[in-house]
Amino acid sequence: ASPGSRVMSLTHPDGGPPAAPHDGGAKALSLVVVSGGALEWGVPAAVVRVIANEPEWTGSPPLDLAAALGLGSPKGGEQYRRILVLGAHQGEVAISAAGKISLREVDADAIAPLPPLAMGGRHAKVFAGVILGEGQGPLFILNVSATSSYARGSR
């Protein structure tokens, strides 16, 4: 990234993932969450390598997750479009995300598996689980390895 660019790296200077605060009780998990569309989704912060504004992105074409899943973009979401670069076993995958991006701490034990019929077809394994909170919609947790494979297969 060039000086003055609006690219954010989520790794420490030593190259490790960001540390998650831990109180010794529940197993805390830091998630980067994309919200504002038909689907709120998150990914463990430890696998997010870069968050960049879409106009400044010069890497490989990103996977538009909402379009791939047949979901619309959030109202006004185009102005909030970012590229999340995720580290996966097979390398890195860039995902285009419309909506607001935030960092959220969750209890890892609160992640429930998806029911078998929740998502069907080609993208059935894109999500690893879901968090259901009182008074909130579901938060789907991205399966990074499956998303990387899906992105390679969609090109």
**Residues 119 and 142 sit within 8 Å (Cβ to Cβ):** no
pLDDT in tens, 46-95: 999 999 998 888 988 898 877 777 776 555 545 568 999 998 777 888 99
Q: Count the alpha carbons within 13 Å of 80 in the hemisphere toward its beta carbon.
A: 15
What is the three-class DSSP state of 79? helix
Give the burial class of 16: count Cβ atoms within 10 A of its Cβ; 0-12 exposed, 13-18 middle, 19 or more buried.
Answer: exposed
pLDDT at 124: 57
pLDDT in tens, 109-139: 999 987 765 555 555 577 888 898 777 788 9
